[in-house]
Structure 1
Amino acid sequence: MPLIPLPWLREHVDVPAGTTAEQLAADLVRVGLEEETIHTSGVTGPLVVGRVLAVVPEEQKNGKTINWCLVDVGAEHAPDTAPEGADEAATGLAYHPRGIVCGAHNFGAGDSVVVALSGAVLPGDFAIASRKTYGHISDGMICSAKELGLGEDHDGIIVLDDPPAPGADALTLLGLAEEVLEINVTPDRGYCFSMRGVAREYAHSTGASFTDPGLVAPAGSASRPPEATVDGFAVEVSDEAPIHGTPGCDRFVARIVRGIDPAAPTPDWMATRLRQAGMRPISLTVDVTNYVMLDLGQPLHAYDLATLAAPIVVRRAQAGEKLTTLDDATRTLDAGDLLITDSPEGNGSRILGLAGVMGGADTEVSASTTDVLIEAAHFDPITVARTARRHKLPSEAAKRFERGVDPALPAVAAQRVVDLLIELAGGTADAAVTDLDRTTAPGPIALDASLPGRTAGVDYTSEAVAETLRSLGAEVVTEDSEQIGEQTSEAEASGRRARRAPRLKVTPPSWRSDLRVPADLTEEVIRLQGYDQVPSVLPSAPAGRGLTLRQRSRRRVADLLADVGLVQVLTYPFVAPGRRDELGLPAGDPRRRSVRLANPLSEAQPLLRTSVLETLVDAAVRNIGRGLTDLAVYEIGSVTHPAGGGDGHLPRSPLPALGERPSDSDLDAVRGAVPDQPLHLAAVLTGNLVPASVHTSARAADHADAIDLVHRVAEMLRVPLTVTADAERAPWHPGRCARFALTDGTVAGWAGELAPKVTQVLDLPARTVAMEVDLGLLLDAAPTEPTQFRAISTFPAAKEDIALVVSDDVAAADLLATVREGAGELAEEVRLFDSYRGESLGEGRVSLAFSLRLRAADRTLTAEDSVKVRDAVVALAGQRYGAELRS
């Protein structure tokens, strides 16, 4: 995020004196630059300039030598009493100096230093106070750069060049009193990664006077960068087959400065600004390139000219090539990386750096460099972005290039670097100039002047639209709004012209590569005219038909589960390949065939789930791990079933051309590539389903509860299901798993207790139960006609209990259906309420008892009616299953 020091910003735009970082943030947010935070130095209290009067070395018993110093900090900050042992007559002062103990040795008498007085607080909440140390009262602290948060140098204290008088405020001198605003820049506003861009936006917001330092001066101007010469340093661009159709480099400017002083220091004002902008001062040459980048927005790179061999070649990498970058990391390159190279043979065999991202170690500027070559180039944003992400190098240069850099800026920025090196390092610029320019000027965009107003609901005049776009730096030409036919009368033509806004031909400035279509220009007009002018209008809702029956049914299912005590959760549909092994799915199980994501959020979870339980168990484990021992959760979500072969790969979808409507065949192919994604419902229950209380005993959830949930959902949807035992369905326990199917035999889901091995592997409690059904299948099978209620009979009900003895291989659900069928229309309710096995029944026999509630709509039932129902039930059950009435 860009950091904006106000004094630096004032060099480009008229920021009123006294403006705070908070006020600046309010001004910038009006044009879409949001405040991230406001930074302060962390230094408070008295920090002053001190002049060292005397330095007395004292060796300590531990072998360390400290300096007992007398320091003049000005009359205003002078102590009331003289330091111990001070010869005040020798100081020549009319007031007392301060006595300070210091362990550094890079200064002496007569030097000016920075002194933190008692009451000051340094970064890290380090408070300064007078205290006795090494046998002296140290009345303050002589500060190093690291102690003030200005750098990493802790061995030596700061010695000021051209210092003010003792006692002067060092907070202001070192820039520590300034607030620095950090702003958030959206990806399409890359020009705001510079003082130039932010200054322009401030001028848009406030109307302040703005001077653009990045414009190319007109021909004949003394400040205009020199034209390219034939004897400039040779540069070649070899990118005949760009990765995505755009050349990787379309401009490359190279300037040479000779005879710079390698020992020339970075001036304090520049070092301060670099630190405020979040960059560490390194050396003068490197600092100048960074400073110009922060100021104008053009990344630059300095090479040690003595290490280069002409020509420089810009080319794509060959797979497997390696480069040691400036961070001392050796990187294996990709064929998509754009490189800066050179070699004595001219074939670009030596790699100098990753273009637009980071330079290499072989040609970096060193402490002995006297001649430098300055590179200012324009690289393709997509190429730089992919390289930076591929190698995990989010450098300051890459941040700018990937958002778009002004292609007209390289020559201006290179000239600025040359001027600063001449001024600060005593260099001399070569007359030879390289400027390989293959850039193309942005084309005009046709804009209906009424479009911004129609979009925002604000009556912008065509003049206001045109003037707003001109303030961006765009060229705006007004054209006739329409061609009037020959058969149109003059009066009609005049009326039509009066009713229609003119058309504008807008040519964006070179630094706004994000402006490509009329919608982009419309957004800029609305932004600069002020979002506060856009009215808040609540659109009227059109008449609708409400939710569909399927949507209502799905919500009723969710309400039902919530009513019985389950909590809904949502999980990500991504799973690891090993999850199917953890669930015990056998080899060849269809659920093992998964769609693999081409770009997963996590490489550990590249597959899409084929069962909601695969991800729901993670939510259960997470909650149990946080102490929730009684758990009942459910999820309604999609699963993905790949079509075609068994490798889980989908047919490739076509990529329609940009700017064209896809053909019907393309759309059909796109739809055909989408895998089947049915809607499933799953639930996991563990711990106590009924908690213990004063009046009730705790009851743990068991497999019957999971089965009952499926029954409840099916009954609510009015979908009849048949239930059978299933001994081979992972991840359920072989003896406690029920399979549910529609009347046509289509399997709808399973419910029961999870297998012990599964709960152990997943860290779930033993006896955890779960269910999963194809909810989409149940919704499709649900009746679409409304429920028809019949009148409640006013006649009393008759009750009948029937216990039938059958072989224990007869499914209870099948026998229940038979009892219901045999009871006929008089059966208002049939319910299984008991199961019994015993010696009296014989081996392999079981007694299933059913409760029947009988009622007629037109009469009171008699004992004979009940007997007929009983006989019919026993006869039908005996015929089908050999059932006998239990005596």
Structure 2
Amino acid sequence: MRAPIEWLRELTEVDPQAKGADVAATLVRVGLEEEDILGGEVTGPLVVGKVLERTPEEQKNGKTINWCQVDVGAANGTGEPQGIVCGAHNFDVGDLVAVILPGGVLPGNFEISARKTYGHVSAGMICSALELGLGEDHDGIIVLTEYLADRPEVLAALTPGDDLIPVLGLDAETVEVNVTPDRGYCLSMRGIAREYALSEGTPFVDPADIVVAPATGPGHEVRLVDEAPVDGVPGCDRFVARVVRGIDASAPSPTWMRRRLTEVGMRPISLAVDVTNYVMMLLGQPLHAYDLAKLGGAIEVRRARAGETLMTLDDVERTLDPADLLITDGGTTPLAIAGVMGGATSEVDETTTDVLVEAAHFDSVTVARSSRRHRLTTEASKRFERGVDPAVTAAAAQLAVDLLVEHGGGTADDAATDIGSVAEPAAIPFDPALPSRYIGLDYPRDEVVETLTRIGCTVVDSGESLLVTPPTWRPDLGDGPDLVEEVARVRGYDQIPSVVPRATAGRGLTHGQRARRTVARTLAATGLVEVLSYPFTSSERHDAFGYSADDPRRTTVRLANPLQDEAPIMRTSILDTLLDTLRRNVSRGHRDVGLYEIGLVTAGGITPLPLPPGGVLPAAPTLQQITDGVPPQPRHVAIAAAGAALAAGPHGPARSVDPTDVVGWVRAIGDSIGVELGVEAAQREPFHPGRCVAVSVPGGAVVGHAGELHPKVCSRLELPERTVAAEVDLDAIVAASGEPVKPAQLSTQPVANTDVALVVDEGVPAAVVAAALRSGAGDDLESLTLFDVYRGDQVGEGRKSLAYRLTFRSGRTLTTDEVSALRDRAVASAASATGAQQR
């Protein structure tokens, strides 16, 4: 929200010497974060100029320019007329114009200098409103006799050479603040001024405190019909309609109004629109103006019906949802999506003479859902979804009517419509000692009562506790902690000391948390870099991975309101998003990249869930049904790498990453938390069918896969050739680890090594042979290592030789015969299980 300081001065006392930074600091003290300070971008000399001569000159390109002699008084240091080239034609000799001389600077840090153009030396510029940052009008330059027509006393005092910066308000500053969702009342000058007065302790002038003319009879007929209220709350609980007849819709908005709308970041459009926008920015109450002649009957507020459409003011035809709240003509023709945007059929245009002004109070949830459903965020929807003060509705309509009558020349109907009733804010029982307990500072009872009163609450002291009724403009105040926050912020958040909380004895990280941290440190120690990617993807990624039509990884949760249309579903694999991060790094010049990510995936789709009513805790069966309907979200760890695993150096050439590297990283995950992971050749998309292994925990359950990506996958995703990847279920691995592993006792006995080479069929996995050897070797086997694989004439076609080193250690020194016997048992077990033959 932008708050012009000069406008702020009309609503509360602001130090005449205060600058934008001072005002921003005052607002920060009560929790309004500063975004920017605008204004003051134009530096002089910007002066009044009087056109003495205007000579049109047609150029070779067909364009006509004006060579002008302009009187700028003594501002140019000589008193001589200034020669200036101007391309506009909406002025004549004798007009007063805005001239910026060489040395001046326009918005955008555009410095003016004397330069030769169109055969003349143009010593300055005659400015338009756009060039000065006063609006978007670039059709012609500013003629001061027209621009300041509503300020005749200022205009009469102007002479050539006078400084125009203060006259045009170009030295005024505007403070832009970030308004959090719970402080919707600050999306108005009324709210900003109230907070400034609260911070400084200055008086506050409420612009809504105006006389609302009593209605002499019922005005335009309005019916409130809501077939589907949200949680029992009607979509519209108050509707005010006022009619102004005989206005000149083409009449220009006053200069001061256009200037203020520009200062708050809005574009002046027409009198009716500008009036409604001005009132909204002042009071925070969105309004809408209808051409009364285009309405065929009574206004009816109802929910949309299936198949209804509406052409909104942005020229987009929108298909309406039955949950949308509509303003309709006689209940049949949609006129507007309530609280979001009006329709084109009843738009006020230059032929309009009679205007119906709508000021209504709409349910915040209904408006927010319609805004998101149609991806249509407007100034009105931002305010309604945060909560609009229902007590200001009639005053806002009255102010809009008064402005239309004053500047449009119309006459307001004596009759008016004001129907519906708004529930009063509920009183909150409040313990005045609560702020001291929550914040840790001493907040005396008197200070608590005074603070709550200053923010607009009605406080009734009932002895031990207080009964606090929030003001109508604060729908965010609903319980004791909300009131505690108000007490703390009014004294100042800077008064709250930073205290490190003391850990409770007997608590700490769970086994799962310690295990996850250990895995993260282990992977980082291997040289991989941890990243975090958004968990959103698309079905096109599943196609790129080559998933079959019935692959369960295609079943996932689709988001109703995705951040990106290109990624509307939740990922079922971390590789869905991690590979994008790898590709992005490679494309930006990082040729050797190894990444890992630990995160959640969504396994399976979501079942339809009941929508319990709001405001109450659902029954236990309903909660259980909701819990059961949420798909599992296991925690996975994924790895992706491309380029060199070992860079070139004095030791020799570089070595590219290969499947053995990624399998080693996966094994390191298990080793770090005491789980011996098994690997076995497998086939699974998106991996190369001959370079993929299944990863399993003790007991045989498969928890993931690792290997080299399929060449087609690399091509589709624009990844380097031979990219390797892995993904395993970290929750399953942690569960297999049980409690933290106790370190093994070191043995003083010597080890006994023996080697064995076994010939097996090509299709027999080495892991199966190793498992059989380990099974037969017994408990004295300390380690088993595959150190050589041979294929050739000596073993025959379709066969391979696997050489293993077996290391034995016992509680005593083993003899050679004992070691040989253990080896023979292991070989016999492998022969029985796989048909292996010893070489």
Q: TM-score, normalised by structure 1?
A: 0.85
Identical columns (%) = 55
Of 793, 796, 813, the residue aligned with 2:748 is 793
2:574 maps to 1:619: no
Alpha carbons of structure 1 residues 807 and 151: separation in structure 2 relative to 1, 3 Å? closer
Corresponding residue of 1:699: 655
The answer to whether the 8 Å contact 1:718/1:783 transfers is: no
Alpha carbons of structure 1 residues 78 and 228: separation in structure 2 relative to 1, 3 Å? same
Corresponding residue of 1:683: 639
Corresponding residue of 2:257: 270
Counterparts of 2:115 and 2:529 in 1: how far apart (Å)? 63
2:424 maps to 1:441: yes
The answer to whether the 8 Å contact 1:229/1:434 transfers is: no
Greater shift after overlay, 521-530 or 873-882?
A: 873-882
1:60-139 correspondence runs (5 A): 66-74=65-73, 76-77=74-75, 80=78, 96-131=80-115, 138-139=122-123
Counterparts of 1:611 and 1:302 in 2: how far apart (Å)? 51
Counterparts of 1:278 and 1:36 in 2: how far apart (Å)? 14
- Displacement after TM superposition at 1:661 (Å): 4.2
Corresponding residue of 1:455: 438
Greater shift after overlay, 158-167 or 170-179?
A: 158-167
Of 663, 683, 688, the residue aligned with 1:733 is 688
Alpha carbons of structure 1 residues 884 and 535: separation in structure 2 relative to 1, 3 Å? closer
Of 192, 212, 215, the residue aligned with 2:209 is 215
Alpha carbons of structure 1 residues 63 and 848: separation in structure 2 relative to 1, 3 Å? closer
RMSD: 3.2
Alpha carbons of structure 1 residues 504 and 70: separation in structure 2 relative to 1, 3 Å? same
Corresponding residue of 1:832: 786
Cα deviation digits, residues 81-127 of structure 1 (max 9, x gap): xxxxxxxxxxxxxx644444444333334432222223222234443
Of 298, 301, 305, the residue aligned with 1:311 is 298
1:816-831 correspondence runs (5 A): 816-820=770-774, 827-831=781-785
Counterparts of 1:552 and 1:169 in 2: how far apart (Å)? 70
Corresponding residue of 1:645: none
2:163 maps to 1:176: no
- Displacement after TM superposition at 1:712 (Å): 4.1
Aligned residue type for 2:41: G
1:60-459 correspondence runs (5 A): 66-74=65-73, 76-77=74-75, 80=78, 96-131=80-115, 138-159=122-143, 160=145, 161=149, 162=152, 163=155, 164-166=157-159, 167-215=161-209, 224-262=211-249, 264-342=251-329, 347-459=330-442
2:627 maps to 1:665: no
Larger radius of gyration: 1
Counterparts of 2:590 and 2:760 in 1: how far apart (Å)? 44
The answer to whether the 8 Å contact 2:89/2:140 transfers is: yes
Counterparts of 2:589 and 2:601 in 1: how far apart (Å)? 29
Aligned residue type for 2:243: I
Aligned residue type for 1:23: D
The SS at the match of 1:460 is: coil
Alpha carbons of structure 1 residues 665 and 259: separation in structure 2 relative to 1, 3 Å? closer
Counterparts of 2:493 and 2:13 in 1: how far apart (Å)? 23
Alpha carbons of structure 1 residues 542 and 368: separation in structure 2 relative to 1, 3 Å? same
Cα deviation digits, residues 133-191 of structure 1 (max 9, x gap): 56665443332223322233333322223312213221111111211111111122222
Counterparts of 2:25 and 2:85 in 1: how far apart (Å)? 46
2:808 maps to 1:848: no
The answer to whether the 8 Å contact 1:38/1:179 transfers is: yes
Aligned residue type for 1:42: E
Counterparts of 2:248 and 2:756 in 1: how far apart (Å)? 109
- Displacement after TM superposition at 1:393 (Å): 3.4
2:21 maps to 1:28: no
Aligned residue type for 1:754: L
Counterparts of 2:763 and 2:491 in 1: how far apart (Å)? 81
The answer to whether the 8 Å contact 1:235/1:310 transfers is: no
The answer to whether the 8 Å contact 2:698/2:736 transfers is: no
Counterparts of 2:680 and 2:69 in 1: how far apart (Å)? 97
Aligned length: 829
Greater shift after overlay, 690-699 or 422-431?
A: 422-431
Aligned residue type for 2:527: G
Alpha carbons of structure 1 residues 318 and 690: separation in structure 2 relative to 1, 3 Å? same
Alpha carbons of structure 1 residues 109 and 535: separation in structure 2 relative to 1, 3 Å? same
Alpha carbons of structure 1 residues 798 and 462: separation in structure 2 relative to 1, 3 Å? closer
Cα deviation digits, residues 458-511 of structure 1 (max 9, x gap): 222222222222222222211132xxxxxxxxxxxxxxxxxxxxx222222222
The answer to whether the 8 Å contact 1:41/1:149 transfers is: no
Counterparts of 2:718 and 2:396 in 1: how far apart (Å)? 62
Corresponding residue of 1:490: none
Greater shift after overlay, 610-619 or 57-66?
A: 57-66
Aligned residue type for 2:102: S
The answer to whether the 8 Å contact 2:644/2:656 transfers is: yes
- Displacement after TM superposition at 1:700 (Å): 2.6
The SS at the match of 2:732 is: helix
The answer to whether the 8 Å contact 2:460/2:466 transfers is: yes
The SS at the match of 1:298 is: coil
The SS at the match of 1:168 is: coil
Aligned residue type for 2:714: T
Greater shift after overlay, 535-544 or 752-761?
A: 752-761
The answer to whether the 8 Å contact 1:448/1:504 transfers is: yes
The SS at the match of 2:181 is: coil
The answer to whether the 8 Å contact 1:79/1:98 transfers is: no
Cα deviation digits, residues 356-404 of structure 1 (max 9, x gap): 3333334333334444333222222223333333334333222222222
Corresponding residue of 2:735: 780
The answer to whether the 8 Å contact 2:70/2:82 transfers is: yes
Counterparts of 1:420 and 1:677 in 2: how far apart (Å)? 58
- Displacement after TM superposition at 1:206 (Å): 0.3
Aligned residue type for 1:127: E
The answer to whether the 8 Å contact 1:793/1:855 transfers is: no
Aligned residue type for 1:452: P
Counterparts of 1:66 and 1:758 in 2: how far apart (Å)? 62
Alpha carbons of structure 1 residues 17 and 150: separation in structure 2 relative to 1, 3 Å? same
2:518 maps to 1:556: yes
Corresponding residue of 1:492: none
Corresponding residue of 1:498: none
2:717 maps to 1:765: no
Cα deviation digits, residues 803-847 of structure 1 (max 9, x gap): 344555554444444545555566554433233344344555544
The answer to whether the 8 Å contact 1:43/1:148 transfers is: yes
Q: TM-score, normalised by structure 2?
A: 0.90
The answer to whether the 8 Å contact 1:194/1:297 transfers is: yes
